[in-house]
Structure 1
């Protein structure tokens, strides 16, 4: 997690002395980015971080991503009339008191550049990837339609960010500002596709709903209407469907987690089917009893496992749902990005001399691809290639793509059904 200090302005990352920052090591041509992950405040905060990305499974329990929150990033070009130049030792010495927290940063005493605004989406994420080398002041400028008790504290961050290793910088920086949610139910949908690479792989969608954290609050009604792209996504469990008005449309897993507690399973008997007029999964009397036993601030999760079976023309697999709790209805959504790759095969040194009949496979990692290249060089069978499901242009083995041998535009292959990476 990013360090959020309880001062006039928070600082983000590790405190590094100007002497060890080694600005001569900064490569101004290296691509830089600041990625904001907007989360709700957990019951137990996570460990302080260093600007690196935290795997989703390692986030503090109870942290839910918040979409629709706007952040504004402004470069701090001068402090007290002195230019901030992070490619010099003097520049780092100037900002040192603010990085180590001994001097609060006061925006009115600095010169700030034009604001760059991004709004969190698809898992509470906003990416700023056009910023120069510099010191930046980050503020939350709109909560959108979310019920948020108070905005996150402004913070300072440098791009790139020094690491604890002298002279080594982090160019892709991740920050995790958090909000205390308000008194309304909060709903969000997220996607987990980190192990999906090709058509036929599993993509998991989770609908999370936080019960208002108000003393004595009890849930009276709760329902979920899942609205996926049915052409692109099938249920991973073939015995389940999207649209029936019976238990076959239930989520693959359902839980309720008390604030600061451990998940309690919601079994099929804790769920109920309804038509409203579309199929809705509700909580039965026993399900409501479990949720209310978990108490205010608890989180209900419905998990749907899907198989990617086709890729839309725009590459966006959009998955929406309508969630209702006690008269509060909200549409929530997430998307997985997929696409195609065209590979042209030609004679070395002559791009016009295209070659048909060349075979290609796709690998999940560089190490796996290098191992396969060694197998090709030694004449051994190639192993480790990704297997593509129905709907791809792979051959009979579902792994191999062969360059075309017909038409004027030959010697190429289109590999379809790849997750964007």
Structure 2
């Protein structure tokens, strides 16, 4: 509890005038105490914190205590800090006039918990108390001097949107039930309600590749609620894992921001939102125009949400866990109190090829070239029209080194897609295939594709590298030599040539003899 006392020597001599000023300030009317402020009187401020229901009940908000049951759950753990506005004396009529004048020049809703100003207009703000709501949602400040106070929700439980800062006077004039006259109420009650806030994230790494060769892209979708009140800022921040790459362009085309619902629409980069990239962190902020569009969509459809689709590229294998931070208000941004989405996981590995020759005397194993395809089924005849070719960061062929090895990745797990396990044969399952397009020098191509799976069977590593059995090339013609000019073939050609020449000579001799005869 915070207790402060102060003695006031001045009295208010014209309660009617004070009441008129209260109306000008916008405070409620009614009463339960003497019509003048008594010397040395102190008051209290009790904050009753509730989760905002879907439909806000029509209850009084004039500073009186609500004795009827409230159809809302109390919210524990919300911290409130109050600041006295020094220099405004509410024991005098002039003080109330000063408060009314301040209302016209100072908007408390612009005060953020992390950056409370030193002054409100020409008046000093002095912190006089800080309380956290109990299990019943109550934070009570007692022993308060007569004054005008700024109330700031300085900390908000996760999953809720802080209420905007507000001003309240202690005391207020109220009219008790059944009474005909107003009087001062020194024990003021306020009932700020925090709307709950949810944000989700999904991952799509089983991208439709019928029309494009894309093997390493991920699309994250972040969805966040829209506060029904106090929409003064909205931010989505996403810090990518090191295995992911975001490649910004002039239009940030890999980020698409929209608002869902019956009045949903795609927002425009630069007009409705901005994008800042710092290292692996992407920050998307709605502009004033974007906030207006989102607020209108919410007013037309209570289910409307902000949706961000982010496309990134996988640059290395790994089990990649990712969350996003959604800040639905300026206060949440200033105090770094995000709503964190549940984590989503994308799993990627690689395949290590070991190329050999059936002729163990051959050590030159470089130059064999492979492509990778995938199917959903466990059989494939090698027809490229019935499978999907894999592209890893623009690379579609891989060539073995001099030692016959090459590692290909990142490749998405065969049995994991869109953040969940998938069974063999499902549409998102991947049966991978190696297709040799260039064999080792002096060797035959592989006659059929070599199948393999990317999976972590024993779940002992987050970056599995599959190593199929060594891929063996055999020498041309299975090692058998074909006949060719030179060697033993030359002998037979020579013999045949001699015989042909001999035969021709005999024919010539015989022809001459016949002529002479």
TM-score by length of 2: 0.29
TM-score by length of 1: 0.35
| Higher relative contact order (Cα pairs below 8 Å, separated by 6+ residues) | 1
- Give the number of the structure whose alpha-carbon radius of gyration is greater: 2
